[in-house]
Structure 1
Amino acid sequence: MTSLDKPTEDTPQDSRAVTEAALFEAFGGVRGMVETVLPGLLFVTIYTVNKDLHLSAIAALAVSLLLVAVRLVMRDTVKHAFSGVFGVAFGVVFAMMTGNAKDFYLPGMLYTLGLALAYIITAMAGVPLIGLILGPVFKENLSWRTRNPGRKKAYTKASWAWGLILLAKCAILFPLYWWADTTQLGWVLVALKIPPFLLAVWLTWVFLAKAPPPIDVFAEMEAEEAAAKQREAAQRSAE
C-alpha cells in the first residue's frame, strides 16, 4: 500500500462522527423521513374517512409538491422531496388508470422490490450498491473497490442488509396487496416506512464504523495539483 493508498488517519470517534454525518446527508435525516411518510399517510387517512380516491390522490400529490416548494424557497437540496413527488405521481397515475385505490401503492412496492434485488445482485457482483451511493458522500468515490478492502467488505455487508430487509418488507406487503383492502394495506405501508429504513441505516453505520476510514480522493487530487505547481515553480526558478 503506497502513501496515497493509506486511509485518512482518524480516531475511532472521528470516524464514527464522519460516518453518522454522511449517512444523515445521504438518506435525508429526519426531514427526509417526514417527506417520505407524509404523502402516503395523508392518502390513507383521507381514504379511510371518505373512500374518495380522487381527493386522496390529489391531496397526496399536493403535499408532495408543497414539500418541494418549501425546499426550493429555503434553497435546500430537493433530491429527497423530488423522489417523493415522482413516487406519488406514479402512484396517482396507476390508481386513476385502474380505478383501484390499492394501485396507488403498487409503483412504490415494485420500486422497493427492484431496489432490494439491486442491493443483493450488486453485492454478489462485488460492486455493492451502498458503496456506489455513499462513496461520493465520503469523498472516496470508488477507491474502496481496489484500495480499501475493509471498506469494500463493509459496503458489501451493508448492501446485503439493505437487500434482505427490503425483501422482508416486500414479503409482507405483496400478499396484503392481493388479500387486504386499501386501508389495511395503506396503514401497514405507513407503519413499515420508517422502522426497516432505520434498521438498515443503523446496520450500515455499524459496519462502516468498524471499517477503515475512507481514502479522501479529492484531497489526494488537490495535493497532487499543489505538488505539480510547486515543481513547475521550482523549474521556472531554476531557469
Structure 2
Amino acid sequence: MSEKPAPAAESVTAEKPAADGPAETEDEQRKPMPTLLEQMGGISGLIYSSVPIVVFVLVNYLFEWQAALWAAVGVAVAIAVARLIRREPIQPAISGLFGIAVAAFITIRTGSAKGFFAFGIWSSLVYCGAFLISALVRWPLAGVIWSTLNNTGFKWRADRTARLYYDIATLVWILVFGSKFVVQQWLYDQDNVGLLGLARIAMGYPLTAIAIAVTVWAVRKADKRLAQLAADEQPEPTTRQEPAA
C-alpha cells in the first residue's frame, strides 16, 4: 500500500512560508512614515543645529575668529558623536557638520569672522533662484519636490487650480530664501558678525516652518481638487430596469 498522508504534510510545509510573507509585509505597512520634524532630528535636532552658530558668535566676541572657528567645529563634532552614541538620527548632525566644515573653510580663506556665514547667505540666493525659475517655467518646485519624495506623480500640473496651490507655496519659499539673502547680505556688508548670527537663527527654522506649513496646505488643497476632478469623471451607475410582467 502507498502512503498518501505524506504529500499532504509536504504541501502544508511548503505553503507555510507563503503565509508568513504577507504578514511581514503588513507589519512593514503598519509602520508610520516619519514626520518631517522627525526626519530633521526632532526638536533636539533643531536646537543642536543652532548651537555651533551661537558658540561661534560668543567666542568670536570674547576672543578672535580663529578660536571661535575651532570652538564651533569642536561643538559640531561633539554633537554628532553624542547623537551616534545615543543612537539618535545621525543624518541631521552629519548635514550640520558638513555645513560647519564648509563655513570653516570659507572663514579660513577669507580670514574674517563674517566668512563663517557666507556659505549660508549665498545658498539662500541659489535656492531662491531655483524656486523662482521653477515657477516661471510652470514646474513649481514645492510641488515637484513633494511629489518626488512621496512618489505621487505630477497629475496636478494638468489642472490650473491645483498647480496654482503649488505656485503659492513656491512663492512663499521664494520670499523666505530671498529675505534671508537680502537681510544677511546687508549685515555681511556691514561686518556685523553678532547680528549675522542672530539673523541666521531667527530667520532659519521659524521662516522654514511657515513655508512648510503653506506647502502642506497646498498639498491638501491640490489633492482635494484632483480627487474632486476624478470623482466628476466617474460615469454615473445605470439603474437596471426590471422587465414588465
Shared fold, TM over 0.5:
yes
Q: Which residue of 2 aligns with 1:167?
A: 178
Q: Secondary structure at the match of 1:109?
A: helix
The one-character-per-residue Cα deviations of 1:176-199 (angstroms, maximum 9, x if unpaired) are 111142223222322222321122
Match status 1:194 vs 2:205: yes
Map 1:37-116 to 2 at 5 A: 37-48=50-61, 50-116=62-128
Aligned equivalents of 1:79 and 1:168: distance in 2? 27
Greater displacement, 22-31 / 63-72 = 22-31
- Which structure has the bigger radius of gyration? 2
Aligned length: 195
Q: Secondary structure at the match of 2:223?
A: coil
The alpha carbon displacement at 1:157 in A equals 2.2
Q: Is the 8 A contact 2:134 2:140 kept in 1?
A: yes
Q: 1:158 aligns with which of 166, 169, 174?
A: 169
The alpha carbon displacement at 1:26 in A equals 5.6
The one-character-per-residue Cα deviations of 1:12-46 (angstroms, maximum 9, x if unpaired) are xxxxxx99x65435655434422432221221122
Amino acid aligned to 1:206:
W
Match status 1:135 vs 2:147: yes
Output the TM-score relative to the length of structure 1: 0.69
The alpha carbon displacement at 1:74 in A equals 4.6
Q: Which residue of 2 aligns with 1:181?
A: 192
Identify which of structures 1 and 2 has the higher relative contact order when contacts are C-alpha pairs closer than 8 Å and 6+ apart: 1
Greater displacement, 54-63 / 170-179 = 54-63
What is the Cα-based RMSD across aligned positions, in Å?
3.0
Q: Is the 8 A contact 1:26 1:137 kept in 2?
A: no
Match status 1:205 vs 2:216: yes
Pair 62,145 (structure 1): closer, same or farther in 2 beyond 3 Å: farther
Q: Is the 8 A contact 1:145 1:152 kept in 2?
A: yes
Pair 58,150 (structure 1): closer, same or farther in 2 beyond 3 Å: farther
* Unaligned runs of at least 5 residues, structure 2: 1-31, 227-245
Identity of aligned residues (%): 25
Aligned equivalents of 2:52 and 2:174: distance in 1? 24
Aligned equivalents of 1:40 and 1:102: distance in 2? 12
